[in-house]
Amino acid sequence: MLWNLLDGRSYTASELAVCADVSPQSASNHLTKLVASEILAVTKQGRHRYYTFQNASVAQAIESIASLIPNHEGYKRVKRPCPKGLTEARTCYDHLAGALGVKLTEALIDNSILKFLNKDYVVTSYGEKWFLSFGIDVRQLRNEKRSLAYQCLDWSERRHHIAGALGAKIFENMLQKGWVKKVKNSRQIILLPEGKKMLKELLNLDV
């Protein structure tokens, strides 16, 4: 159920029961405990109750736990946990993950737009100007009640991608610009030709 919630949407207990292949009663019992533990939040609308993560930090923890899945070749061949498309590009709550998310993050670092600071990313002075030309006001994002940019361990790549307010805004802008599109009823993201072209032009990134 927690894995399914990583697409950033809210679900009813019945929907989550189907995702986990458990009875509605069992799902309801688990969800009650998760809400009490402040892992999930619940919103009542009409006759339905909708569940989602309490905050982005919980989503990050769930994604990171998946990195504990064994990474040896035999495991990949027999029990690979998801379709190839998800490992190439997917959403991790509200930001971009998978090979595309990792490569994009590394390109931002290689181009001196971001730099490391402990477990966070810091936007350089050049980076602030770069993001502004991209349509993102970093100074405004700093006023939001969440971390600006931090490392999120990518479970399929075993490397980090960017999360936080900046990671969410980057993905939002890529959607609006028509660089990527969502796959219906899936966390998978497809990089479109225009996106490939612009990533090459702006970051010298080949994907």
Summarize pLDDT for 62-111 with one digit per residue, the tens.
877 876 766 555 444 434 445 577 889 999 889 999 999 999 999 999 99
Q: Which tokens sit at 1? A: 């159920």
pLDDT reported for residue 69: 63
Element (H, E) at 179: none
- Which residues are bridge partners to 10 per DSSP? none
CA 196, distance to chain mean position in Å, is 20
Q: Which of 107-111, 114-118, 122-126 has the lowest mean pLDDT?
A: 114-118
Q: Where are the alpha helices (DSSP H) in the chain?
A: 13-20, 24-36, 56-65, 73-79, 84-88, 98-110, 125-133, 138-141, 165-176, 193-203
Q: Give the residue, 78 or 145, on which the prediction is more confident.
A: 145
Architecture label for domain 4-54: Orthogonal Bundle (1.10)
pLDDT reported for residue 188: 93
Sequence spans of domains, the chain:
4-54, 59-203
Average pLDDT over residues 190-200: 96
Summarize pLDDT for 161-176 with one digit per residue, the tens.
999 999 999 999 999 9
Intra-chain end-to-end CA distance of the chain, in Å: 32
pLDDT reported for residue 90: 94
Q: What size, in residues, is the chain? A: 207
Give me the chain's average pLDDT, please: 87
